[in-house]
Structure formats: C-alpha cells, structure tokens
Structure 1
Amino acid sequence: MDGNVILIAVLLAAMLGMVAMAFAGPSPEKARKRRVATIRGRYGESAEALLEARMRRAISNRPTGAEAKMLVSLVPNPDNLAKRIKMTGKKWTLSQYMTACAIIFLLITALLALRGFPFFFALLVGAAAGLGLPHRWVGRLITKRVSQFNAKFPDALELLTRGLRSGLPIAETLGVVSNEIPGPVGEEFKLITERIKIGRTMEQALQETADRLGTAEFQFFVITLSIQRETGGNLAETLSNLATVLRQRSQMKLKIRAMSSESKASAYIIGVLPFLVFGMICYINFEYMKPFFTPDPAGIFGLSTMQVIGIGGMCWMGIGAFIMAQMINFEI
C-alpha cells in the first residue's frame, strides 16, 4: 500500500507540473511589448505598417515552431493533429491537448491502481483513455461545428446572391456575410476576407478554408467560383441554384438520420452494455472477476478459458458492429 501511495503522489505531482507548464500565460513584459507593437502598427500612417498589423492579426493563432519541436517526439504526425484542433474552432494548442491526454492517463491509472487492479492493466486502460477520450471529444466538436456551418451556409449563399444582384463585387459580399451571419459561417468568411486583405488571392483563401473545414458543401462553393471565373456566366443565379441544392441535400441527410436512428440506438446499446456491466462488476467486486485477468500457462497462448471466451466475444461483437455500421452508412 505504501508503494501505491508513493506512486499516486508522483503521478499527481507530474500532473500538476504539466498543468502549470501548459496553461501558464505569457510573461507580463512580453504581453506589454506585443500590445505596444499592435497599437503602433494599427495607428501607423504608412501602408506597410497597416499591412504588417493585418498580417499579425491573421497569423496570431498559428502554433509556434518551438512548440511543434517539443511535441514532435510525442505526436506521430503533429501537423494532422494541429489541423484537427483548428477544425474545432477553439484556440487550443498542441501543448494543451497533449497535457489533457496526460492528465486523463494519470487519473485513470491512479484510480485503477488504488482499486487494486494490476498495474500493467491500469497502464493499458489509462493509455487507452488518455489517447481515445480527447480524440473522441475533438471529433465530436468538429462534427458539431461542421453541422452548424452546413446549416447556415445556404443562408450565406443567399446573402451573397442578393449582394451580387444589387451590384456589389464578390469581395465586398464576402465581408457582408462575415458580419451578418453568426456562428462558424461568419468566422470562416471573416478569415477569408482577412487573407485577401494581406495579399492572398480569393482562390487561395477559399481553398485553405475548404481544406480546413473538410466539408463537401463548401468545396462545391469553391468549385463553383473557380468554374465561373474561367467560363463566365451569371454568378448570382449559379449561387442561388447551389443554395437550393444544399438545402435539399441537408433535408435528405435529416431524413436518412431519422430512418436510421433506431438501428443506431440498438447498436449503441448492444455494443456498450457488455463493457459497462463488466466494468461495474470489476469496480464493485474485483475478486469475483480476478480469474479473468489471471493467465493460465496450460491454456492457449498462455491465456485462461475466460480470457479466450472474452476475446472471441469481442471479435464477434466487432464484426456485428461493423456490419450494422455499413448497413446504415449512406453516401449522399
């Protein structure tokens, strides 16, 4: 028990240290210098000063190179992870994300060790939770933000259509959309206008946003503008037709979601219930489930009969979940 107490104390101390390092704010002197530089660039009379201020605002959320170098040894592909974090719309950094993963890992490992679970099993469960839970949470935030974007995007296209029909150029209508449409749509169009102001072409700014969002609806919009610039035609009418198509696409998705909701609920209940019951029994009475974690040298590959049955059951459940997922997966 003394060894467990020492281990828990070390884990908690490491967790507190990582929290302090990741979430500590910048020094007051650096913050003061940055504010002075921002004000000086904002109210400078030269065009170069104004351009420099706009560039600083546009790239203020980029991660620093030092941070990427610190995390390159822990993250297999930090660029993809940074892209996923940006897709959430939150101002999180790689350091904060990895700190959250480490905190979850240490907490789960400490709780399982205190409950008397084998230390190696506690490490495996803690590592799975530390890597899986933040990844799952980021994925949910991305899905939620993309859904909000797709819900308001047809309204933005209709606003663009009205602006073009009233005689405004496309660049000014993008600015109007960024100010009038709330939520992710306004934020993304505001970033597009800022990139155009610092010298990017409209195609480059739109394509960067399309790559970050990863949604087909906005990619349709980018392709429509590219084709119209090459071939000409009535852009307002084209955007109006695109808005109608996107609304019909959204209605079809909602209809499919309603039709497949029963199958999804059944799959979630059937898939989660065995693991939930197993975890509750292990937490309440670990001695009853201890044979499941005890190897048998005379068994298959050193596994006991209960372990072989458990692995076989998980394989069959995985096959069933995969089949049910493919049955309700519709491509629109």
Structure 2
Amino acid sequence: MDMLRSFFLDPFVLSIVMGFLVFVFFYIRWPGILSFFKDKTFSSQKEVLKIVDMMMIKTSKEKVVLWLWSLGLSLGFLIFLACWPHLVLGLGFGALGFLFSWIGVQMVMRSLWEQRCDQVVNQMVEGMTIMTNGVKVGLSVTQAMERVIKNMKEGPLAQEFQLVLNKTRLGMSVEEAFNDMEKRMDRQDVTMMVVAINILKETGGNIAETLATISETIRERQKVQNKIKALTAQGTIQAVIVSLVPFLLLVMMFLTNKQHAELMLGTPLGWFSLLMILGLIIIGGVLMKKIVTIKV
C-alpha cells in the first residue's frame, strides 16, 4: 500500500498522468476550444471597434485591428518565453495571455466609454442651465443646443449635441436624433432629458422649466452618488489589496525560497494550483465589486 501511494505521489508519475489528461481533454475538446477562442477574440474586436466609433476617436479600423493583434501576440510570446523550457505550460499560458489581452482591451475600452458617459451626465447640469436660459429668451431646442456647443467646446456633451445636430441637418427628425443619443449613452439622466424634450415638443409645455427641473434632479443625484463613492472607497481598496496579496506572496517566495517557488511553477500540481488561485481571485473580485457597487 505504501509502495502504491509513493508511486502515485511521485512527481514524474504525476507529470505523466496530468500530461495525459491534458492531452485527452484537448483532443476531445479541440474544436470547441478553437471556436471559443475565435468567438471571444472576434467579439472583443467587434466591441472595441464599436466603442472607438462611439467615442469619435479619429483612427482607421485597420489600425485598431493591427494594434489588437500586435498586443495579443506580443503578450503571448512574452509569457511563452517566461515559461521556457516548460513548453506545454508556455503554450497554455501564452494562449491564455493572448485571449486575456483582447478581453483586457475590451474591458479598458468599455471602462473608458463608461467614464465618457459619466462625464456627459456631469456636464448636463451646466448644459441644461445654458439651454434653459436660451429657451427663456425665445430660442428653439436646437438653437439652445448650439449655445451649449459654443460654451462647452471641450467636452463630450458638446460632441454628443453636435452629433444630434448633424443628424438633424441630414434629414433626421430631432426626436429620432435624441432617441439615438439615448441608446448610445444608456444613462437614466440622459433618458429623462430625451423623454421630457420629445414629449414637450409634441404636446407643448414649458420646456425651460422642465430643463431647470432636470438640471436640479441631476445635481441632487450626483451629490448622492459622490457620497456613496466616498463610503464604499475603503471596500474597493480592500478588494484590490486582497486580490494582489497572492501574487505578492508568490514573488516573495520566489525571492526567498526559490526551490519552493519552482515546485509551484514547474510541476503540473503547481500549475493546477495557480489556475485555481487565479479563478478564485477573479470570482472574489467580481463578488466584491458587486457588493460595493450601489446604483442610484
């Protein structure tokens, strides 16, 4: 019994067994794995191109695609070199690095778009005030928007209003142009402004008073959101620190006790442990993010 146990716990035997299991898994699931990588990469590429277009970044589609492929291949190759001479480990982690680079760029672009939408909402307080004053002196909604563009030249709100005006000049109605803006921004405050303006243009009413009310509502909402951010800032920092602790411990182990670190990085059992640790860190980070995120 002891001989059997020592045989199965031998690192060489474990390496052969793990290698065989990995081979069988990839052999059976190879079409599905290729399809998964293809779907993830091309869906990420499609969303990145969409966000670049929505953010009005002046660049070509070919440059964005070239940049994405260059980043993914470079990261994958660097990971492969870092894992050398472990060929299987290098190929596996290199492929994951390539995939995560695309997903990472997608997440960064999505985050930048969310920040842009938040900037639009933050500027709406000043923008609605300018529009209110313009409507009070007899200007139409589109003319009041032109005043906002002139007074807020540097900012996403001016760009969004300019896009709405450009669409109306090409023959689209004001209501349709505002509805497109609402679909692009996906913010409650933008929806409130668009719905109010469209209804008042059809039924009539005091647009200036409505815009002033919207501006005051957005201002109060921002106060509440800033207070929530201040209260949840500690939880966010704690989540980041807890997520980084395992990686810092691995670096310290590699610097102080290299033999133990090589067992983690150079054996199948260590690779499996690293994947488990990475998965648990991701799950914990997502759960912490959901806990500290409070929508107003």
TM-score relative to the length of structure 1: 0.67
Query: Is 1:84–1:138's contact at 8 Å kept on the other side of the alignment?
Result: yes
Contact 1:162 1:236 (C-alpha < 8 Å) held by counterparts: yes
One-letter code aligned to 1:177:
V
Asked if 1:325 is matched to 2:296, the reply is no
Cα distance change of structure 1 residues 129 and 317 upon mapping to structure 2, 3 Å threshold: closer
Deviations 1:84-105 (A, max 9, x none): 2223332234332222221122
Query: CA-to-partner distance for each residue in 1:216-237, whole Å, 9 max, x for gaps?
Result: 2212111111221233211110
- Which of 165, 178, 200 is residue 136 of structure 2 equivalent to? 165
Q: Within 5 A, what are the aligned runs for 1:106-125? A: 106-115=73-82, 116=84, 118=87, 119-125=90-96
Q: Which residue of 2 aligns with 1:213?
A: 185
More helix by share: 2
Give per-residue Cα distances to partners, 1:114-170, cap 9 Å, x unaligned. Answer: 332533134224313421332232123213322221221111111110000001111
Gaps of 5+ in 2: 1-37
Structure 2 counterpart of 1:138, from 109, 122, 126: 109
Structure 2 residue aligned with 1:95, among 48, 51, 62? 62
Indicate conservation of the 8 Å contact 1:108/1:129, yes or no.
no
Q: Distance in 1 between matches of 2:166 and 2:141?
A: 14
Aligned to 1:223: 195
Contact 1:178 1:190 in 2 (8 A): yes
How far is the alpha carbon of 1:202 from its aligned partner? 0.3
Question: Counterparts of 1:97 and 1:110 in 2: how far apart (Å)?
Answer: 20
- Asked which structure has the greater RCO (Cα within 8 Å, sep 6+), the reply is 2
Structure 1 residues 126 and 317: CA distance shift in structure 2, 3 A? closer
Moved over 6 A (4+): 71-74, 279-287
Deviations 1:191-215 (A, max 9, x none): 1111111111001111222222222
| 2:224 equivalent to 1:260 | no
Note closer, same or farther for the CA distance 1:91–1:308 as it changes in structure 2 (3 Å cut): same
Distance 1:107 1:173 in 2: 49
1:107–1:81 distance in 2 versus 1, CA, 3 Å: closer
Q: How does 1:240-259 map to 2 (within 5 A)?
A: 240-259=212-231
Change in Cα spacing, 1:281 to 1:141, as seen in structure 2 (3 Å) is: farther
Find 1:148's aligned residue among 119, 134, 144.
119
Is the Cα contact below 8 Å between 2:48 and 2:106 reproduced in 1? no
Change (3 A) 1:313 1:110: closer
Change over 3 Å in CA distance of 1:316–1:129 after alignment to 2? closer
Question: Runs of 5+ in structure 1 lacking a partner?
Answer: 1-70, 297-303
| Equivalent pair of 1:103/1:130 in contact (CA under 8 Å) | no
Which stretch of structure 1 is more off in the superposition, 139-148 or 275-284? 275-284
Q: Structure 1: how far apart are the matches of 2:92 and 2:276?
A: 19
C-alpha offsets along residues 295-314 of structure 1, whole Å, 9 cap, x if unaligned?
65xxxxxxx2x445444444
Q: Deviations over 1:272-331 (max 9, x none)?
A: 2323554686799987544335565xxxxxxx2x44544444454444334322321212
TM-score (norm 2): 0.74
SS state at 2:43 partner: coil
How far off its partner does 1:79 sit? 5.5
Q: Aligned partners of 2:79 and 2:258: how far apart in 1?
A: 11
- Corresponding position of 2:9: none
Give the number of equivalent residue pairs. 254
What does residue 72 of structure 2 align with?
Answer: 105
1:48-69 superposed Cα distances (whole Å, 9 cap, x missing partner): xxxxxxxxxxxxxxxxxxxxxx
- Note the alpha carbon deviations across 1:8-49, whole angstroms, 9 max, x for none: xxxxxxxxxxxxxxxxxxxxxxxxxxxxxxxxxxxxxxxxxx
Alignment of 1:1-332 (within 5 A): 75-76=42-43, 80-115=47-82, 116=84, 118=87, 119-181=90-152, 182-278=154-250, 289-293=261-265, 304=269, 306-332=270-296
- Whole-angstrom CA distance in 2 between matches of 1:74 and 1:270: 29
